[in-house]
Amino acid sequence: GQQLNQSPQSMFIQEGEDVSMNCTSSSIFNTWLWYKQDPGEGPVLLIALYKAGELTSNGRLTAQFGITRKDSFLNISASIPSDVGIYFCAGQRGAQKLVFGQGTRLTINP
Amino acid sequence: NAGVTQTPKFQVLKTGQSMTLQCAQDMNHNSMYWYRQDPGMGLRLIYYSASEGTTDKGEVPNGYNVSRLNKREFSLRLESAAPSQTSVYFCASTQGALPNTEAFFGQGTRLTVV
């Protein structure tokens, strides 16, 4: 089946640092989504990308849809304690179901 | 303001027991999904229902059955639970199966099979 490779699997950073994570695929997607999951909760959508090359920001978060349509990255600037959680990328192609990456677990040291 | 509601939130089963996980959404969404989440594996699709009256297998359907009872409700059944089915289960819904659609998730059901 379709595979999304998300990296890194985990990150340990200091508060205030910037964070970068990415997803790559062997398949082309028409939509890239980034979700965050807090402990004990379901994933919540952070940013949605619908066009190749699109760069979208949501506060301190910035995500880009790769030109090849096979990758996407998410950056978080000036991290704060509430950024802790697991971040998932997800890709969708046409009317097909969402495919999720393995997740990036973010830990922040105050 | 409920969104997607899953019950129960926690469950412990003995091997061989059966149970049904319930999911309901109040957003009038057409499509509903069941995922399982295991450490280091991300979310893997078990079954989905693109619209009322239809269901399709996802990536890991073995050992599960589903029922799209009506537009609001999509249940997941384990007929004979196995320890390998210990996981966190998430239900999700989307307005449609097209691009430009956001998936809304429930809070999850943590299932342990002993």
B39 pLDDT more than 90: no
Between CA A102 and CA A85 the distance in angstroms is: 13
B100 pLDDT more than 90: no
Which two structure tokens, joined as six digits, stand for B14? 């003995």
A95 pLDDT more than 90: no
Query: Which positions 42-61 of A are in contact with B (Cβ < 8 Å)?
Result: 42-45, 48, 50
Does the beta carbon of A85 lie under 8 angstroms from any beta carbon of chain B?
A: no
Taking residues A98-110, what's their average pLDDT? 90
**Option in A9, A95, A102 nearest B97 (CB):** A95
Express as a percent the part of chain B with pLDDT over 70. Answer: 94
A71 pLDDT more than 90: yes
**By the 8 A CB rule, do A88 and A78 touch?**
no
**Option in B42, B50, B98 nearest A100 (CB):** B42
- Indicate the pLDDT class of residue B33, thresholds 50, 70 and 90: very high
Q: Taking CB atoms and an 8 Å limit, are A92 and B99 in contact across chains?
A: yes
What proportions of chain A, in percent to the nearest 5, are helix, strand and coil?
5, 55, 45
B98 pLDDT more than 70: no
Task: Give the pLDDT confidence of A47-61 residue by residue, as tens digits.
Answer: 999 999 999 999 999
Contacts A–B by Cβ distance under 8 A: 59
pLDDT of residue B94: 86
Weakest-pLDDT range from A88-102, B8-22, B31-45: A88-102
pLDDT of residue B40: 74
Q: Taking CB atoms and an 8 Å limit, are A31 and B45 in contact across chains?
A: no
Between CA B84 and CA B67 the distance in angstroms is: 22
